[in-house]
Amino acid sequence: MRRVKFAGREFDLTLFLGMVSIMIVVITMTYIIADYQNRIRLQEVRVVYEEKIEFVTSQAKKFVDNMSMALTYLDTARDDLKNAKINLEKANFWFERKDYEKTKNLTFDAKFYFNRSNYVFKKALHYMLLSTNSSTEEYSVILELYINYTHSAINLTYYGNLMSWHLENASIYYQDGENAKASHEMDIFNELSPYYNQFDQEMENYMREIKFYYGIRE
């Protein structure tokens, strides 16, 4: 063993160097392990972050896709509803003037448009409800307005179709001289009318709120 004197004391140089080497190795390994652990943590953070980004992006795409489909169906349904309402109004106009043939033709068209509009509004509602699964809080208000609007539209088309049926039946009975049956059909028609008007008003109210949300002033 090689010994050296330092500050009046003898030291085993070989043992000292060995201990220093071990300390260096320990420090180096500690650093390597710590660095490795940090890299693992960073990798985990990166993976989690990327997964969140991917999830948010996916949800946003689903929301946009579903709402695009919903609004496309909604526009189509609104056009059909417009035609249905016009035909029903015209049918009622000619019924009051006892032109029952024109009434029949117009109620036939009204039923067609009310039925088709009802179906398409339900398709729009389906995609709106799907949108709620991928929507964020900031879109919850406008989405709820669209859903409420569409519910009212579905109810309106339902009652509009029934009214068209009974008005048509009344015109047929009057043509055949069966006044009592015609009068009964008109009683039902008049009973349905308040419900029709209620949902028509609801649609107007919800559309006003939707426009207000987008800053559209009438």
Model pLDDT for residues 96-119, shown as the tens digit of each residue:
999 999 999 999 999 999 999 999
Model pLDDT for residues 133-168, shown as the tens digit of each residue:
876 777 889 899 999 999 999 999 999 999 999 999
For the entire predicted model, the pTM comes to 0.76
Domain locations in the chain as residue ranges: 3-49, 60-213
CA distance 170 to 153: 25
Q: Does the structure show a pLDDT above 50 at 6?
A: no
Higher pLDDT, 46 or 111: 111
DSSP per position, 38-100: HHHHHHHHHHHHHHHHHHHHHHHHHHHHHHHHHHHHHHHHHHHHHHHHHHHHHHHHHHHTT-H
